[in-house]
Structure 1
């Protein structure tokens, strides 16, 4: 009987200790991944920095999430959206899409479910964005810079912007006119 009490007590203590193990939060995982391979000399030389500007959990189902973050590097300022899933209490970095401000690429979409459509907005006349029938969430970044995203179960939907005057216009993934000027400026 003493052995049973001894082992029972030991199991209770082990159970309590197991419950005390701190599970890594979504934000802790994100920051650890962002800094994992950073060399301090490279950071100094390139003035590299990043900032988590928005996060949301349980976006498609329980134990998933998105992070929206900016990066400043030799490439300039870029903004990214990443989809994460948690499996067996461990976060996993999934798909990522990036964008630049004032780029001819007006929006992009992830190629696997969940299909996350996203892009930048620098035009204050844009009131809403839709990816198919889904109204996008618009995140204020700084000044006139905004970022939008919509999570859809459908691939290849039409993206529309609703203007302050109520009109809607379809937005192509790439602005061909802006691309012509973009290439011309880069070749000079």
Structure 2
């Protein structure tokens, strides 16, 4: 009788462990967004792009749009898995149609990013690293590049082959 109880108990534990489902990155992201903005009115967001294992195994990048009291903004966020749990590490944002060109995360990994509203731009580089360019909607695009180097120059390449170094966001200028 004891043997049957022990076997039954072990089978029950195996069953429970099998039922535990690890949270996907997207489930984690949506849960965090709902929790962070639960008190806000007229708030919505759209997850535009994800990249898993972006810098190393068990990390992720998410690009998302927010509609809030400041209008529409675009963000990029970096996540890492620690002890089998996703952790939101850093975020950068921008607005469409502003003098904002690009920004970078100030901790490793150095992720450079920015909105693109000029259709003639076909490539973007952060130092030597080519950027991924994502079509967000219509003619709105967003780029990001992961660089091992802090404080690199950002260059755009246009359809006609011209190259231009673009300046980083001046947060003080934007607030004025």
TM-score computed with the length of structure 1 as normaliser: 0.85
Q: Give the number of aligned pairs.
A: 174
Match of 1:168 among 156, 163, 166: 163
Point out where structure 1 has 5 or more consecutive residues left out of the alignment: none
Q: Which deviates more from structure 2 when the two are superposed, residues 111-120 or residues 11-20?
A: 11-20
> Counterpart in 2 of 1:62?
57
Point out where structure 2 has 5 or more consecutive residues left out of the alignment: none
> Counterpart in 1 of 2:113?
118
Cα offset for 1:9?
4.7
| CA–CA separation in structure 1 for the residues paired with 2:47 and 2:70 | 18
> Counterpart in 2 of 1:19?
18
**174 and 83 in structure 1: CA distance in 2 versus 1, 3 angstrom threshold:** closer
Runs of 4+ that moved beyond 4 A: 2-6
The answer as to whether partners of 2:65 and 2:72 remain within 8 angstroms in 1 is yes
Match of 1:106 among 101, 109, 113: 101
Cα offset for 1:5?
6.2
Cα shift readout 1:99-143 (whole Å, capped 9, x = no counterpart):
011222210000100000000000011000000111000000112
| CA–CA separation in structure 1 for the residues paired with 2:53 and 2:83 | 15
> Counterpart in 2 of 1:29?
28
Cα shift readout 1:60-116 (whole Å, capped 9, x = no counterpart):
111110111001111011000000111122111110000011222210000100000
**Bigger Rg over Cα:** 1
- What is the RMSD of the two structures over their aligned residues, measured on CA atoms? 1.9
- In terms of fraction of residues, the more helix-rich structure is 1
